[in-house]
Structure 1
Amino acid sequence: MVVSIRRLCLLVGIASLASACTSMRAPSESDPLEGFNRTVDGFNQVVDKAVVKPLAQGYDKVTPPEVKTVIGNFFSNLDDISVAVNNLLQGKPKAAGSDITRFALNTTIGIVGLADVATELGFQKNDEDFGQTLGVWGVGSGPYLVLPLLGPSTLRDAPARVVDAPLDPLYHYDDVRVRNSLFVVNVVNTRARLLPATDLVERVALDQYAFVRDAYLKRRASLIRDGAPDPEDQGYKDFEEESSSTSTVPEAFPPFKAALVQTAPANDEVSTLLPGDLQQSDRAREGLGLAN
């Protein structure tokens, strides 16, 4: 089943309206630095609109899709090293072994990562970083924090970048000019990939700052749980009650992001911007027209 663009826009609009209403109240516990964050966010948007976005649009227009895929594969392969280390630190040796296998296959057979042969062989890409590792260890996220040029983060995730940085092989590359050039290529390629998602949010979100903040915090929490439902969510409690009253084993209770990924894989970047805990029971899914 394919979710239409119109329905997707409607769902994003509803989520953004809720975010906007939230932002009209006093700063929440998760965002006591809202005044500072909005100032930095405004600066980031100015830089993005003046420099990064135009570069990404030009790059997207002249670069063949196959080339963009190859570039993305290259940087994704380098990222697998950091992912493997963090999976080990989180006590997930099986996942870490899969990450190492991915890196070995893609670096050799895949020609320094230009081809993602590991995924074709069944070794799926994982998403881990030291911020998530700290979360698994029980460190709270702390206040939401917008970093200059780097964007959304938290008081926990921001310093964690310092730990992840040396795990990137490019960090140790001696030729500064080449290293900086590759960094720029990675930024522009990533920004180009996110153009459909950010353009959609710009069109429908009443308060882009609040929408991105809520989406980032929800998604980070979901990543730390490895996509598992939030036990503190009321919808999850209702689901558990409904499940216990039936004799059959129900399907997994997926977050809204997972539903979008399954039904509209081409819009994966859009789904990553949506709050990760908008979960629904079968009855709610029918109301949204997402039920099978």
Structure 2
Amino acid sequence: MQIQTKSILITALLALMLSGCASTANNDPLEGINRGIYKFNDVADKAVIKPVAGAYKAVLPSPVRSGVNNFFGNLSTFVSVINDLLQFKFDKAAEGAGRFVINSTFGIAGLVDVASMDGIEKRNEDFGQTLGYWGVGSGPYIVLPFLGPSNVRDTTGLIVDSAAFDPLGYIDDPATRNSAYALKFLDKRAQLLPGSDLLDEAALDPYAFMRDAYYQRRQSQIHDGNPPVQNDEYDY
């Protein structure tokens, strides 16, 4: 995905402007629209995405799927390293860079997660977390078509990461680039198959449950697993 710098800057500016504009208690002023998109995503998942992910999991042996997951995970380390640098977490950035080098060489282009075997755990940092780390509020909650829960800040982060930091975004051939994104998406969905039905069974309102769980997860990620006792995310 290649997006013009001007578009990125405009989106980032909107994120900063809107991050203080939420007026509802749960920061979901677009709930009506969001629920519609959530329903669309649910129908599309059950009709197409989930069956395809199931076939993917059934056809490909576990070692192959593990290699695919490790490959994309290794590439995402590059994104984490950059965002660790932007958060001034230089020790974590150095650790991530070492992990990337180890897996890219001894791990055969990242197909084998050698670094984890050596005790170098994977970090997941993104530009949305970087914005949150420096105090940018979440802005209104948003449900993205196919991608699911987000907010203005994290959607901005997704755009910046995809356009500027993700190595996949630098693949020149559109067909190859889009195929790589599709495979990454499919592999991720296949990993979530075991818990696919738990949400509908466990929650009276799956939409609200997903929204609240998303905010709690992002708070934990922004604060490296140690979020403040009082969740102020909705107040931004």
TM-score bin (small chain)? 0.7 to 0.9
* Residue 79 of structure 1 pairs with residue 80 of structure 2: no
**2:84–2:125 Cα contact (<8 Å) kept:** yes
User: Is 1:98 matched with 2:95?
Assistant: yes
From 150, 168, 175, the counterpart of 1:177: 175
Q: What 5-or-longer segments of structure 2 have no aligned partner? A: 1-23, 232-236
Distance 1:167 1:226 in 2: 21
2:36 and 2:58 map into 1 onto residues whose CA distance is 31
CA distance in 1, matches of 2:89, 2:192: 30
**2:128–2:157 contact (8 Å) kept in structure 1:** yes
- Superposed CA deviations along residues 29-58 of structure 1, whole A, max 9, x for unmatched, are 321211111011111112111211110011
For 1:209, give the aligned amino acid: Y
Per the alignment, residue 133 of structure 2 pairs with 136
Q: Give runs of aligned pairs for residues 1-292 of structure 1, distance below 5 A.
A: 28-165=25-162, 166-232=164-230
User: In structure 2, what residue type is equivalent to 1:171?
Assistant: G
| SS of aligned partner of 1:145 | strand
Query: CA shift at 1:161, angstroms?
Result: 1.2
Q: CA, structure 1 residues 229+176, in 2 after alignment: closer, same or farther (shift >3 Å)? A: closer
SS at structure 2 position matched to 1:156: helix
TM-superposed CA distance for 1:149, in Å, is: 1.7
For 1:119 and 1:29, the matched residues in 2 are separated by 38
Is contact 2:107-2:113 (8 Å) kept? yes
Give the deviation of 1:229 after TM superposition: 4.1
After TM superposition, where is structure 1 displaced by more than 4 Å over at least 4 residues in a row? Answer: none
Residue 72 of structure 1 aligns to which amino acid in structure 2? N
- CA distance in structure 1 between the aligned counterparts of 2:131 and 2:220, rounded to whole angstroms: 14
**TM-score after normalising by structure 2:** 0.84
| TM-superposed deviation, 1:85 | 0.4
How far apart are 1:175 and its partner, in Å? 2.5
Q: Is the 8 A contact 2:84 2:93 kept in 1?
A: yes
Distance 2:52 2:114 in 1: 30
- Measured in 2, the distance between the counterparts of 1:29 and 1:111 equals 45
Unaligned runs of 5+ in 1: 1-26, 234-292
Q: Percent identity?
A: 50
Shift of 1:203: 2.3
Q: Is the 8 A contact 2:219 2:227 kept in 1?
A: no
Structure (1 or 2) with the larger CA radius of gyration = 1
In 2, Cα distance between equivalents of 1:156 and 1:47: 25
